[in-house]
Amino acid sequence: MPRKSTSTTFQGQKIEDLGKTEEEQTEYLLKNDDAPEYLKKVELIDAIRQAPNKAARRDAITDAAKVLGKSTRTIKRMLEKVEQVGVATLAVGRKDKGQYRISRQWHDFIVDLHKWGNKEGSRINHNQIFGYLKALASQGEKLKQKKYNEKFKEYSQVREDLISGKYPSHVTVYKVINSYLDEKNNKVRHPGSPAERQIIQTTEGILEITRSNEIWQIDHTKLDILLIDEEDQKVIGRPYITLVMDSYSGCVTGFYLGFEPAGSHEVALALRHAILPKHYGPEYELLGEIWQMCGVPEYIVTDRAKEFKSEHLKQVALQLGFIRRLRAFPQAGGLIESIFDKLNKEVLSAFGGYTGSNVEERPPEAEKTACLTLDKLEKILVRFFVRHYNNHDYPRISDQKRFERWKSTFWLEKPKILDERELDICLMKVAYRNVEKYGSVNFLGWVYQGDCLLDYEGKQVSLRYDKRNITTVLVYTRPSNGQPGEYIGIIKARDCERERMSLAELNYIKKKLRDKGREVDNSSILHERLSIFEDVEQARKERRSQRRKRAQRKHEVKSNKSKVVELFPENVTSEEVTTSPENLISNLEADTQKVVNSKEQQVKSTPKPNPIAKEKRRPRVGVQDWNEFMKDNW
């Protein structure tokens, strides 16, 4: 039934919009600011929605009325408004201060002390444990000694607190130990759940699984495979996957794949993928199969990681209307963990780049054989979930597929289908941007443009996008005066030639370009400096060479000339040869040699039995043909 319209739904609303109903005016609203007043209301309303029973719900409403200074009837109206319109109607609140009074390290340290004090026949009570903590704190700086390293091996924060004299009160110690004992004593053991009446143990009690889309489980892990970049084929790293599964049928309802460590935004994106109907093109090779799972769950069960207790996920839960629960112990998530094991061992192990579960025993050829990109891996996982896993026999019932079990509870009514705009709260919130001419916005180094922004030139808008595809961005008006933003439309990257590109891929490409640009700049600067020094060094070498040549010429002039004489120069007459100074010296030496030879011949007139070869004679000055002289005298 339409409600009365209000003129205060948006700041600066036009007069002609006042005739619309309140439901029309509050369509597709998102709260983009985290004002303290808004977060306070989110916390209180969330406590009411998450109450496990009526008594707790009544107490939560009373507490909210006291904190906000309003009547319980007003709180109930606020709750009704959130359920009908969304969390943005609260418009004010405060930040979450956490669910624990002490840190997780302190909690585990106290529990470990209790375990240590109650084994091997010892029975240490709660007061003794508190006294021991007090005694440790009195040691101060002595706790830094080596003998305490083993005790505080995994509790560095506890050690620092004790050194500074800080430790929990005796009431806190008692509560931690009693809570641990209650959880330990209430542990339910059974050989295995039957096909029907399956249960999940949570911190708020036991949930019985009776139908599809009643309880979804979410978890994430790092896959055992190395991926490469599509352009340069270099190894990027191992991807993270956040998985959503239906506890009743065991079907995978959605997932998110990326290189970012799992956080609240990755969980929200996986939820968004699981809730919306899924459509895939022929490039996914589904052979006519359809990923049928969609809708909104009643419960979301997760482990106790901080991303599942974040403010963002609280707002998503309020907007979509599901209740969050935490597993009582890790074994309760064994079903979704088995899917991760199947992915690694049945799918990824067949491809190059598989690392295995043990990083220390990683195959040496893992990086060399890596061949999958993020897009290829996404297509492989979609095919596996649609054609194999969801089509596989349900293990607890014979002759029934998983997807058939999921559909079996929807024979009377179809699953709830949400509009895509209602799930925009799952998308990442980004900084505000100014709208420039022609309805354009600068974001992530790209220019996004859309006709929906033509009327907002010169104004600021808020952007939201899906990490898996940042070629399109959703635009909302900027919140003002505590009022949420209004949906404007979708804008696309103007100069991007690709239809899809993930944020991780864009960041990797930008990093490569930055590194390449920095290398070019440095090389050009270094080349310039090197060329200057090389020119200086070359000039110095030339000057040294010229100095050596001049010194050598001076030395040749002062020193004696060489005594090597050319006996038979070309183009020289016999007179020139005879009268030349060199030949005059040769003639004198020749005459002297003749006298000596004549005397030797007289002494050696008697021939010997084994005469030695004739001694080489010096050529006569007048001989012109050296070959003829050698023939006659050799």
Q: Decide if 216 contacts 244 (C-beta within 8 A).
A: yes
pLDDT digits (tens, 9 = 90+) for 611-632: 444 444 555 555 566 676 666 6
427-503 is a CATH 2.30.30 domain: yes
- Pairing, β 299-302 against β 323-326: parallel
Fold of 198-420: Nucleotidyltransferase; domain 5 (3.30.420)
Express as a percent the part of the chain with pLDDT over 70.
74
Q: What is the mean pLDDT of each run of 10 residues along the chain (634 residues)?
A: 33 36 52 70 86 89 88 87 77 44 86 86 84 88 86 88 89 89 70 65 88 92 89 85 92 90 87 91 88 92 88 87 88 83 89 82 82 90 92 83 88 77 78 86 86 87 83 85 82 80 75 63 48 65 85 77 53 51 50 50 50 49 64 66
Residue 174 has, within 13 A of its CA and on its CB side, a CA count of 4
pLDDT digits (tens, 9 = 90+) for 202-244: 888 888 888 899 999 999 999 999 998 877 788 888 999 999 9
> Please, which contacts does 377-383 make with residues 24 or more away whose CB atoms are closer than 8 Å?
377/225, 377/227, 377/239, 377/257, 378/257, 379/283, 379/284, 379/285, 380/347, 381/241, 381/255, 381/257, 381/343, 381/347, 382/280, 382/284, 382/286, 382/291, 383/284, 383/285, 383/286
DSSP class of residue 145 equals: S
Please provide the average confidence, as pLDDT, over all residues in the chain: 77
| Gap between the Cα atoms of 320 and 415, Å rounded | 14
Residue 11's pLDDT is 31
- Per domain, the residue ranges of the chain are 31-89, 104-185, 198-420, 427-503, 508-559, 574-633
Q: Length of the chain in residues, anyone?
A: 634
Residue type, 501: M
Tell me how far the alpha carbon of residue 459 is from its chain's centroid: 34
Q: Decide if 236 contacts 228 (C-beta within 8 A).
A: yes
Residue 252's pLDDT is 94
Q: Would you list the DSSP string of 586-600?
A: HHHHHHHHHHHHHHH
DSSP E strand stretches across 123-166: none
Q: Which residue is associated with the tokens 């065991």?
A: 250
- Locate 425 and state its tokens: 């709260």
pLDDT digits (tens, 9 = 90+) for 572-613: 555 554 555 545 445 545 555 554 455 455 544 555 555 444
